[in-house]
Amino acid sequence: MKLTGAQILIECLKKEGVDLIFGFPGGAVIDIYDELMKSSIRHVLVRHEQAAVHAADAYARVTGKVGVVLVTSGPGATNTVTGIASAYGDSIPVVVMTGQVPTKLIGNDAFQEVDIVGITRPCTKHNYLVKSVKDVAQTVKEAFHLARSGRPGPVLMDLPKDVMVDRTEFKYPEAIKMRTYNPTYEAHVGQIEKAGKLIVQSSRPVLYAGGGIIASNAAEELTELATLAQIPTTATLMGLGGFPGTHPLWMGMLGMHGTYCSNMAVANCDLLIAVGARFDDRVTGKLDAFASHAKIIHIDIDPTSISKNVRVDVPIVADCKNALGKLVTFLKREKDINWKEKHEEWLAQVRDWDKKHPLSYKEEKGVIKPQYVVEKLYELTKGKAIITTEVGQNQMWAAQFYKFAEPRSLMTSGGLGVMGYGFPAAIGAQLAAPDRIVIDIAGDGSIQMNIQEMATAMEQRLPVKIAILNNQYLGMVRQWQELFYGKRYAATSLATAPDFVKLAEAYGAVGLRATKPEEVVPVIKKALKTPNLVIMEFVIAHEEKVYPMVPAGKATTEMLLV
């Protein structure tokens, strides 16, 4: 029997295991929606297409599956670009389906036509314009394969209206082989041996983990390696949760707002083992001062990440889980080594740094400190919540003061740093994990960038908790202005703002406010007890800063401290 393009599309999505689509309709995708409605796939109607991609991104992060988005042509498509670029920056598997004008009209500047394949070429792993109904099944197969394999990432399929209406015989391609795409998963044994030997020879090693740990489900292997060889461990923002935040070998995040301990350890180590990380400038600071005494082992599935910014001694192109597993096996053979003794001096030094300048903040009478709020969120959720963040100071305080115990418990726009990511991400996360507590740690600026999703969360009955750390500023920018621009606060005041409690109520949600430190715990407790969407507004110290801070372009040892 012949099926329409839209029918084939839905059949293929089911075959790919899709159970949930985030989307927003329009003329070019009515045919697809018409079929989608008849299927078992759940659709979540967002209120802005950018939010659909962020939600799908977080859904993918929590479940490990591919997040799926469906939007219309033209403005629907362009509205997804920020979401796509964010997923690309963080290597998150998302498939975005955009409607397109009929093939005959393409190139004609037709109504709601944009060249979305051209627009998203540099921010997708790959993208397709599907020009014939005969190509639909194969394209869906390839799109999902590309999104989730190798270094994951967003893939876009542009679907012209006539292609969705045309009919053809449906045959699902069970297997897939792409002759131009073959990621390397297996770590090279020779390279593992070289790496293992460097670890054996080293006396001051550091493990530096990135988002690749989460993507490849390698948290267990990472912890095993660290524990076995007694290696102090740090992680990037994207790697948080990949190593238990309460582990004795844990040093905290590194980089611009990393801990004193992590940054000192990296600067002084003689061996840096980078796993699924990419030496981003927010991590390295001034490049020639970064790990300048160290040999470097770099494990990554993407060869372009290796030796991009920093010269590497032992490159290992592989899946992190595979490579770490092999490294552990190699090191277990070294039965004569007493690792604790071997690294005793180094670990003592690391503990010293930690004691000298732990993460801290100054308490002030009568004023709520944002770090205190995050600490209490951590305590009252026993570290078990899924945390999403917006971008700015709120993001850094969340990263510093919530001790993530497990992978896939922090969702944040790391690479692109999108204000407005956190709330739609919380929606995606809550749909992926209905029984977990999901909290968006937000800023007063960022939350207004996708506030319209309150309606989505209400409609889906999602008990997401939003914790706004309200400093009445675009705080992170203000911090830079205070420190490096002579306190000239150009365009960073947010004194004019909605009443967030009333705003919550306007959507039918619950609004709570804390203005004094002693109100913080009761507000959080009340929110956690409320089986509904809640906005908690914490009116915090207006000019609180995130410390430590490495000024841009400086060596990571040149930290400004509390």
Partner 1 sequence: MKHTYSVLVENKPGVLSRVAGLFSGRGFNIESLCVAETLDPELSLMTLVTRGDEQIIEQINKQLNKLINVLKVVDVSEGDFVEREMVLVKVKAEGNTRAEVLRMTDIFRGKIVDVSPKEYTIELTGDEKKVRAVLELLRPLGIKEVARTGTIAMIRSKKTP
Ligand X SMILES: Cc1ncc(C[n+]2csc(CCOP(=O)(O)OP(=O)(O)O)c2C)c(N)n1
Active site residues: 49, 111-112, 161, 476
4, 120, 233, 471: which one contacts Mg ion (CB under 5 A)?
471
From residue 300, alpha-carbon distances to 227, 291, 322, 383, 434 in Å are 21, 18, 11, 29, 32
**Contact status, residue 235 vs residue 209, Cβ threshold 8 Å:** yes
Q: Which helix (H) or strand (E) holds 40?
A: none
Q: Write 314-317 long-range contacts (CB < 8 A, 24+).
A: 314/191, 314/194, 314/195, 314/198, 315/191, 316/187, 316/188, 316/191, 316/192, 316/195, 317/184, 317/187, 317/188
For the chain, give the longest Cα–Cα distance. 74
Q: Which of 268, 284, 412, 471 binds ligand X (CB under 6 A)?
A: 471
Residue 440 β-bridge partners: 388, 466
Contacts of 496 (CB under 8 A, 6+ apart): none
Q: Check binding of 444 to Mg ion (CB under 5 A).
A: yes
Provide Rg for the chain, Cα atoms.
24
Which of 474, 512, 527, 555 is in the footprint of ligand X by CB under 6 A?
474
Rounded least distance, CB 209 to partner 1, Å: 22
For the bound state, the minimum distance from the C-beta of residue 560 to ligand X, rounded and expressed in Å, comes to 17
Contact 156, 115 (CB under 8 A): no
CB of 51 to ligand X, least distance (A): 13
Number of residues that bind Mg ion (CB under 5 A): 6
Closest to partner 1 by CB, 217 vs 307, is 307
**Residue number, 326 or 376, with CB nearest to ligand X:** 376
| Cα–Cα nearest to 500, from 443, 462, 543, 541 | 443
Nearer to Mg ion, 50 or 394 (CB): 394
Minimal distance in Å, beta carbon 178 to partner 1?
Answer: 7
405-434 binders of ligand X (CB under 6 A): 417-420
Contacting positions for partner 1 (CB under 8 A): 117-118, 121-122, 125-126, 129, 146, 178-181, 302-304, 307-308
Residue 126 interaction partner, one of ligand X, Mg ion, partner 1, none, beta carbon < 5-8 Å per kind: partner 1
Encoded tokens for 257: 């707002």
Which of 468, 459, 470, 450 is CA-nearest to residue 509? 459
Q: Please choose which of partner 1, Mg ion, ligand X, none residue 259 contacts, taking the beta carbon within 5 to 8 angstroms, the exact cut-off set by kind.
A: none
Cβ at position 293, least distance to partner 1 in Å: 21
Which option in partner 1, ligand X, Mg ion, none does residue 388 bind, with CB closer than 5 to 8 A by kind?
A: none
CB nearer to ligand X: give 35 or 390: 390
Residue 290 binds ligand X (CB under 6 A): no
Does position 477 bind ligand X by CB under 6 A?
A: yes
CB of 263 to partner 1, least distance (A): 25
Among 25, 285, 325, 445, binds ligand X (CB under 6 A): 445
Q: Can you point out the beta strands (E) in 276-419?
A: 295-300, 314-317, 386-389, 410-411
Using CB under 6 A, pick the residue from 211, 245, 276, 475 that binds ligand X. 475
* Cβ–Cβ < 8 Å for 361, 351: no
Give the nearer residue to ligand X in terms of CB position, either 213 or 469. Answer: 469
Dist. CA 69–CA 59, nearest whole Å: 11
Residue 540 binding ligand X, by CB under 6 A: no
Binding site for ligand X (CB under 6 A): 390-394, 417-420, 443-446, 469, 471, 473-477
